[in-house]
Structure 1
Amino acid sequence: MDKLNKIIVIFDEKQEQQTAIERALELARLTRANIHVIATIFSNINVTFSHLQLDTEAIIRESMLNRLNKDLKSHIDSLDTSQVNISYETLWSPRPSIDIAEICESQGFDLLIKTANKHHLFDGVFHTPLDWHLLRECPCAVMLVSNKQHAKDRPLIVAIDANSDDHAHSSLNDKLLDSAQYFSKIFKDEIIAVNACPPLPVMTDLEYASIDPSSYIEEMKKIASANTLKVIRQFNLNESNMKILEGIPEVVIPGFAEQIDSPLIILGTVSRSGLSGFFLGNTAEHLLYNLQCDILAIKPDGFDRD
């Protein structure tokens, strides 16, 4: 990430605390980026009130948009927006994730910020939350922020996959580390690159292959450590800037982040939908279950939201 020029923020009227706007203002003051706040609303009026005429439906729709616009303006007016260029709009949208993604793409936004909602493990079975949709579909970087207050000068985490050396993984690792360095300079925080080793195979499988479990773990950590160091050295980072974790990424990474009170996890995400999106999931989505810090999800080069 070279520079933040345009930030789009989601205003959620159901949230008591608009942490996303606060975070955007903080970033804008540090980077001089422009902020655009968007609020969406929708109600299936013709189903709820099937007897209404079209002109009456339009009046109700306009009334709902006006109320939302008034609430949004009132909130922005209550903030200290000095030295920040901020605009806003309200949008009638039955499909907010798609409409927001199209706005991000057509208007060239660099970053989308939204206050994260708490999710249950099975939220994605029959209904996919907006946060998940934005992670999968938004073409720009997506920052989901928590309401938790963090201590100053805590290290930010960048989660890389140094266990694969194919071009796609290498390219995404470089993009993640580049973004980590950018935000590290902005917030003046240290970087810790985290690489999660594959979890231990089923014990019977190891016994059948005559492999000692402790030796297996140590060997995997040694390989992961060497691979991680090779990747991060290209960004002038060293052993003090890395941590090798053992286990499933979506479990061990948030645990480590909470342990060191990290304010931000930077990681890659890809588009997934349907049943595979639920059963396979991805690390960014699963982190939402136990969100204790902000998440910055970076798309790989050539990302296609379609």
Structure 2
Amino acid sequence: MSIYSKILVVADINHDEQPALIRAIQLAEKSRSRSRITFFLSIYDFSYDMTSMLSSDERDAMRRGVIQQREQWMRTVAEPYLTDNFDFDIKVVWHNRPYEAIIAEVFSGQHDIVIKGTRKHDVLESVIFTPTDWHLLRKCPSPVLLVKNAHWPKDASILASVHVGSEMESHIDLNDKMVEQLQSLSERLDAKPYLVNAYPITPANITIELPEFDPTTYTDAVRGHHLTAMKSLRQKHGFDEEQTVVEQGLPEEIIPQTAEKLNAAMVIIGTTGRTGLSAVFIGNTAEHVIDKIDCDIMALKPTGYVSPLDPKEAV
């Protein structure tokens, strides 16, 4: 069971409604242990640092004044949602790169999860991911939950996009982490959990290059392998067969289609993060899937992931 005892919520300075805060409170109030929510904002105004007419002390005083104003606004927008069921902090920092400030806070506060709202296109209802969103997905060491809507729909489902075709230890471990998150989230948000896997289409050029190649037999063998691997995963975690989907096709097509079909309010994605400085990448497949999903997204890093912003790496 995943424990969210320290939840970092990124405030949306452009709106009074805070979907990320609402989702965090939903999770905190159903936690088995008392949670602490930190409502966080990174602000920066270039003009305060470049005003040569002001002394250093005067610029510091102006920054403190802006920070205090933001803190007061955050208290005001959070007040309607606060209860005695969790602890609550507000933190505002002055930083010119929001994603760096957020990840620095993850390290210093040892937060279990980052929750942030995403922009929603009013006409198409599609999610627009900001540069900060993408930086967090790529570089944040903790799970990142990007929230589209404050309202959690009735009879919703949560999907975990698992990769069951691989026998690599890192993929097996990441699948287990995703399923554990799925179980925890679906229980707390009263949703139906599903495991979804896409397996590849037989390349057409193989049939041309190898006349004796039987694509039907090959496709059946690939599907059989994925079904067997999915059965092993679901049984390991106590899922029924009805809670699994194994489809042929590209993940960036199958996952969004399945999410829409099953009324998914959230999709959990495992990123094929690398360690060290190359960890800025989250994998082409994951990026394409994320771009096409029209609901909340949770991204998980594999065990052993090292963020390029880890302060230990700078030593």
Q: TM-score range by the shorter chain?
A: 0.7 to 0.9
CA distance 1:9–1:54, shift in 2 (3 Å): same
Match of 1:9 in 2: 9
Report the Cα distance in structure 2 between the residues aligned to 1:188 and 1:12, rounded to whole angstroms: 26
Match of 1:167 in 2: 169
Report the Cα distance in structure 2 between the residues aligned to 1:44 and 1:214, rounded to whole angstroms: 62
Report the Cα distance in structure 2 between the residues aligned to 1:91 and 1:200, rounded to whole angstroms: 52
Give the letter for the 2:207 counterpart: L
| CA-atom RMSD in angstroms | 2.9
Report the Cα distance in structure 2 between the residues aligned to 1:291 and 1:115, rounded to whole angstroms: 15
8 A Cα contact 2:29 2:85, kept in partner: yes
Report the Cα distance in structure 2 between the residues aligned to 1:47 and 1:83, rounded to whole angstroms: 40
Match of 1:269 in 2: 271
Report the Cα distance in structure 2 between the residues aligned to 1:75 and 1:16, rounded to whole angstroms: 6
Report the Cα distance in structure 2 between the residues aligned to 1:72 and 1:205, rounded to whole angstroms: 59
- Which residue, 118, 128, 134 being the options, matches 1:132? 134
For each residue in 1:94-147, what CA deviation from the matched residue of structure 2 results, as whole angstroms up to 9, or x when unmatched?
22222322221232211111012369xxx99xxx81111112222211111112
Match of 1:90 in 2: 92
Q: Is the aligned partner of 1:305 residue 2:311?
A: no
Report the Cα distance in structure 2 between the residues aligned to 1:88 and 1:282, rounded to whole angstroms: 36
Q: Is the aligned partner of 1:281 residue 2:309?
A: no
Match of 1:259 in 2: 261
8 A Cα contact 1:150 1:262, kept in partner: no
Runs of 4+, deviation exceeding 6 Å? 272-276
8 A Cα contact 2:157 2:264, kept in partner: yes
8 A Cα contact 2:16 2:77, kept in partner: no
Report the Cα distance in structure 2 between the residues aligned to 1:61 and 1:37, rounded to whole angstroms: 19
For each residue in 1:137-186, what CA deviation from the matched residue of structure 2 results, as whole angstroms up to 9, or x when unmatched?
22211111112755423332111111111211111111111222222332
For each residue in 1:49-101, what CA deviation from the matched residue of structure 2 results, as whole angstroms up to 9, or x when unmatched?
46654344334423332332222121112334343321111111122222322
Give the letter for the 1:30 counterpart: K
Report the Cα distance in structure 1 between the residues aligned to 2:284 and 2:177, rounded to whole angstroms: 22
Is 290-299 or 106-115 further displaced after alignment? 290-299
Report the Cα distance in structure 2 between the residues aligned to 1:223 and 1:118, rounded to whole angstroms: 39
**Corresponding residue pairs, total:** 297
3-state secondary structure, aligned to 1:161: coil
8 A Cα contact 2:138 2:279, kept in partner: no
CA distance 1:17–1:212, shift in 2 (3 Å): farther
Q: CA deviation at 1:251?
A: 2.7
3-state secondary structure, aligned to 1:78: helix
8 A Cα contact 1:45 1:57, kept in partner: no
Q: CA deviation at 1:18?
A: 1.2
Give the letter for the 2:284 counterpart: G
Match of 2:124 in 1: none
With the length of structure 1 as denominator, give the TM-score of the two structures: 0.85
8 A Cα contact 2:160 2:195, kept in partner: yes
With the length of structure 2 as denominator, give the TM-score of the two structures: 0.83
8 A Cα contact 2:251 2:285, kept in partner: no
Q: Is the aligned partner of 1:116 residue 2:118?
A: yes
Aligned pairs for 1:31-180 within 5 A: 31=31, 32-45=34-47, 49=51, 53-117=55-119, 129-147=131-149, 149=151, 151-180=153-182
Is 132-141 or 80-89 further displaced after alignment? 80-89
What are the ranges of 5 or more consecutive residues in structure 1 without an aligned counterpart? none
Q: CA deviation at 1:259?
A: 1.4
3-state secondary structure, aligned to 2:41: strand
Q: CA deviation at 1:48?
A: 5.8
Give the letter for the 1:114 counterpart: K
Identity of aligned residues (%): 28
Q: CA deviation at 1:291?
A: 3.6
Q: CA deviation at 1:243?
A: 0.5
Q: CA deviation at 1:241?
A: 1.9
Is 244-253 or 214-223 further displaced after alignment? 214-223
CA distance 1:275–1:162, shift in 2 (3 Å): closer
CA distance 1:302–1:208, shift in 2 (3 Å): same
